[in-house]
Structure 1
Amino acid sequence: MEPEAEAEAEGGSAATGGTGLAKGLGAFVVRSLIVVALVVLALALWRLRDVLSIAFGSVMLSVGFSGLADAIARRTRLSRAWSLALVVAVALGGMGLAVEVFGAMMAAQYDELAQKLPRSLQSITAWLNASPLGREVVGMSDNALKSAAAGPAPRMLARFVAGAGQALTYALVMIAGGVFLAIDPERYRQGVLVLVPRARRARAAQVLDSLAQGLRLWLLGRLVVMAAVGVLASLGLWAMGIDAPFALGLTGAVLTFIPYVGAIMAALPGMLIGFLQEPIKAVVVAVLFWAVHFVEGTFITPLVQDEVVDVPPVISIFSTVVFAVLLGPVGVFLAAPITVVVILLVHLLYIEDVLGEPAPVRRRRGRRLAWPRLLRRRGV
């Protein structure tokens, strides 16, 4: 080969190698920037977790308001705007009326609870002091309380007061956000869909509609269950002669929004009050709450939520713990609806779209039930 040809070949290979090196370096830089952007996004989402919780709560309220408004508009001559105004007015008016009618009675009963719970704890302490093992337990508890009072207790009290004010502010923002989302949900739906590639936009619309319908059905069923548990628990405690039965029943109804864990939390105040009256009544109250939740789980929940996505008990319990750690107290109440949304997304986007299999069905009392069939039947 001539010297000139060899020089040209060497120059060409060097140029090719330089171009390949530049492309490889450019791809590495792009990948590094993507990783950094993802890390920054994750940190930003973590810092904004309270905002995300409020946003999810607003979406959940919006789904409920929109569902009721659409149902009223279909069955009456009212427009959707007037139907939504009626729903919001009835909801807020009902809350105000409940506070006006039952507020004084509930405040008196909660005040009674605040006075009786310490006496219940004193009675339990006296009962424990009757045995050597009990005295050891009481001594350990006293030491722990003294250490807490000397150390973190004042800070915890101040944090609790600040948290209560923050929770009230979050609740007001959540309600306002839910109302504004319900006024024009299609606008925000289209805003989300425009971010999806055109080829996947139709499927994304189906997924959003399925999520809204599934969450709406779950929320409606949960509200029915809460009302039933509150009425049954209040009547049962009143019949047994337990002090402050309606306050305890209301507490049980609110805590029922938390599946499984809420049932245990709801029984504890009633058991303490019952123990103060008569030690045996603590056991009777525990049996009453067990019976109420047995009726709820056996008859009421299957009736109102038979074809909504089924969340296994273990997943419900662990999701409550996980979201409580991630989101704080608000995560305890939002854990169940977030879990419902996650399960629906897994069914729709992974089981159906990726695996190409039909979504799982569940059997109860010999009937074959599937939440996708219900959604399709309702036009989703």
Structure 2
Amino acid sequence: MTADRSTSDAWVGSERVRGLVRNESPIDESVQSGRPSLLAIGLTVLVVAVALFLVWQTVSSLLIVFAGVLFAAFLDAAARALAPVLPLSRVWRLTLVLLLLSALAGFGLAWGTGKLPEQTRVLLKVMDAQVDILQEHLLSYGVDLLGPEWGRDFAQWLFADQGRFLSHAQFLLGGASSLLTAVLVILFLGILFAFDPISYRDSVVVLVRQSYRARARQVMDEMGTVMRLWFVGQLIRIILMTLFVWLALYLIGLPGPFVLGLQAGLSNFIPYLGPIVAAIPIALVAMPLGASPLIWAVAVYTIIQSIEGYVIGPLIQRHAVETPPAWTLVAIVLLGALFGVMGIALAMPLVAVGRVAIIRLYVEDYLGDRIEPATTDPPILGEQP
């Protein structure tokens, strides 16, 4: 009797399970049919929103990390350049590159400590005098360019109020310490990434679904190649622009030609806007020498900048960045407004890397269109140590 009752209960339980399976809810149907449920959609939206919020709150740190990756790409490019010359392992070539860069940095500091401060002081004094003259001319026409608080004696304005002086000192010290910290973090991150790029790449790839990891490696390698080509290209442009402007202004006879050439070269790090801003110090320094040197300085700088911008630059960067100039300028303006100087300085490589991600992951993988890679060079992360 007991056995019959247990058998009956088991039969009823199994029938109840079968009934539940036959009469499953619409949510279960959506799961089995592959459609995400409302709960899954809500959780996905929540996760994406939290991720975007965290990115927004830590964007300054993320830009520093990205700058470290750029520096690692430069170190990797230098190590690759030494490969045909020195039959050494990659680690030894990277070590040699770091030693050479340290020696160059030490020589530059030793030379610049005795030369650059004096030239910079003279140039600032000349530009300050020319701004005063420009202000007087504009005041004669009723235009107050610099405002009523502009004083001819900056030191008197600075030290007149002790509270103002302390606030300026705190601002300068805080800015200097933040800049030094960011530079050190970028340098150390770049060195760590450069010495073991494959493991760092795979630590990101492991977060991707296993069937898609080969594609993720391919896209990340292409991003690395783009960063490497962009950084090396920008470095070549800065060096060429500095040398040409330095030589031209030296022949014209302007004071501090090296400082003016250096700021003209560094301005190429910010495309389109940087060269225009770099022309202002050159014009202000040339104004006291008369109309002829001023015209010569502005004309020579314009010619050099035009040749560099329309001939040399596109030849160097044609394999790295293929973004239309308007989109690049939009990115510079938006990132500069959102994130300041770091956003402006890193706008170009961010656009280049973002373009690779959009084309490979969205246009090709999601939309199904096929676009050939812009570069055929070996990937930055493909070389074994």
TM-score by length of 2: 0.80
Amino acid at match of 2:267: L
- Specify the alignment match of 2:146 in structure 1: 141
In structure 2, do the counterparts of structure 1 residues 44 and 312 end up closer, same or farther at CA, with 3 Å as the change threshold?
A: same
Name the CA distance, whole Å, in 2 between partners of 1:180 and 1:375.
Answer: 21
- Specify the alignment match of 1:204 in structure 2: 216
- Specify the alignment match of 1:7 in structure 2: none
* Percent of paired sites with the same residue: 27
- Specify the alignment match of 2:4 in structure 1: none
Select between 337-346 and 63-72 the one with higher mean Cα deviation: 63-72
Q: Could you give the per-residue CA deviations for residues 204-256 of structure 1, whole angstroms, max 9, x where no partner exists?
A: 11111111112111111111111000001111111111111100111111111
- Specify the alignment match of 1:237 in structure 2: 249
Name the CA distance, whole Å, in 2 between partners of 1:379 and 1:27.
Answer: 41
Residue 316 (structure 1) aligned with residue 328 (structure 2):
yes
Residue 115 (structure 1) aligned with residue 125 (structure 2):
yes
- Specify the alignment match of 1:61 in structure 2: 71
Q: CA deviation at 1:338?
A: 0.8
Name the CA distance, whole Å, in 1 between partners of 2:57 and 2:279.
Answer: 35
- Specify the alignment match of 1:106 in structure 2: 116
In structure 2, do the counterparts of structure 1 residues 355 and 34 end up closer, same or farther at CA, with 3 Å as the change threshold?
A: closer
Amino acid at match of 2:131: L
Amino acid at match of 2:254: I
In structure 2, do the counterparts of structure 1 residues 69 and 197 end up closer, same or farther at CA, with 3 Å as the change threshold?
A: same
Amino acid at match of 1:168: L
Which of 232, 246, 270 is the matching residue for 2:282? 270
Q: CA deviation at 1:145?
A: 5.3
Q: Could you give the per-residue CA deviations for residues 139-191 of structure 1, whole angstroms, max 9, x where no partner exists?
A: x6324759xx99xx986885455233312210111011100111111110110
How is 1:132-281 mapped onto 2 (pairs within 5 angstroms)?
Answer: 132=141, 136-138=142-144, 141-143=146-148, 158-159=170-171, 161-279=173-291, 281=293
In structure 2, do the counterparts of structure 1 residues 98 and 40 end up closer, same or farther at CA, with 3 Å as the change threshold?
A: same
Amino acid at match of 1:101: W
In structure 2, do the counterparts of structure 1 residues 143 and 301 end up closer, same or farther at CA, with 3 Å as the change threshold?
A: same
Q: CA deviation at 1:21?
A: 8.3
Residue 92 (structure 1) aligned with residue 102 (structure 2):
yes
* Structure 1, unaligned runs of 5 or more: 1-11, 361-369
Assess if the C-alpha contact under 8 Å between 1:267 and 1:285 holds in 2.
no
Give me the CA root mean square deviation: 3.2
Name the CA distance, whole Å, in 2 between partners of 1:206 and 1:36.
Answer: 30
**Structure having the higher Rg:** 2
Name the CA distance, whole Å, in 1 between partners of 2:355 and 2:79.
Answer: 26
Name the CA distance, whole Å, in 1 between partners of 2:132 and 2:150.
Answer: 14
- Specify the alignment match of 1:367 in structure 2: none
Assess if the C-alpha contact under 8 Å between 1:359 and 1:372 holds in 2.
no
Q: Could you give the per-residue CA deviations for residues 114-142 of structure 1, whole angstroms, max 9, x where no partner exists?
A: 22221111111222234x3xxx212x632
Q: CA deviation at 1:102?
A: 3.2
Name the CA distance, whole Å, in 1 between partners of 2:278 and 2:230.
Answer: 21
Assess if the C-alpha contact under 8 Å between 1:120 and 1:276 holds in 2.
yes
Name the CA distance, whole Å, in 2 between partners of 1:34 and 1:355.
Answer: 22
Q: CA deviation at 1:305?
A: 2.6
In structure 2, do the counterparts of structure 1 residues 297 and 379 end up closer, same or farther at CA, with 3 Å as the change threshold?
A: farther
Q: Could you give the per-residue CA deviations for residues 317-345 of structure 1, whole angstroms, max 9, x where no partner exists?
A: 11111111222111111111111111122
Name the CA distance, whole Å, in 2 between partners of 1:78 and 1:30.
Answer: 53
* Structure 2, unaligned runs of 5 or more: 1-18, 31-35, 152-157
- Specify the alignment match of 1:363 in structure 2: none
Which of 283, 286, 291 is the matching residue for 2:298? 286
Name the CA distance, whole Å, in 1 between partners of 2:185 and 2:132.
Answer: 41
Name the CA distance, whole Å, in 2 between partners of 1:21 and 1:217.
Answer: 51
Amino acid at match of 1:371: A
Number of equivalent positions: 348
Amino acid at match of 1:247: V
In structure 2, do the counterparts of structure 1 residues 161 and 255 end up closer, same or farther at CA, with 3 Å as the change threshold?
A: farther
Select between 223-232 and 111-120 the one with higher mean Cα deviation: 111-120
- Specify the alignment match of 2:46 in structure 1: 36
Name the CA distance, whole Å, in 2 between partners of 1:43 and 1:171.
Answer: 26
Assess if the C-alpha contact under 8 Å between 1:123 and 1:276 holds in 2.
no
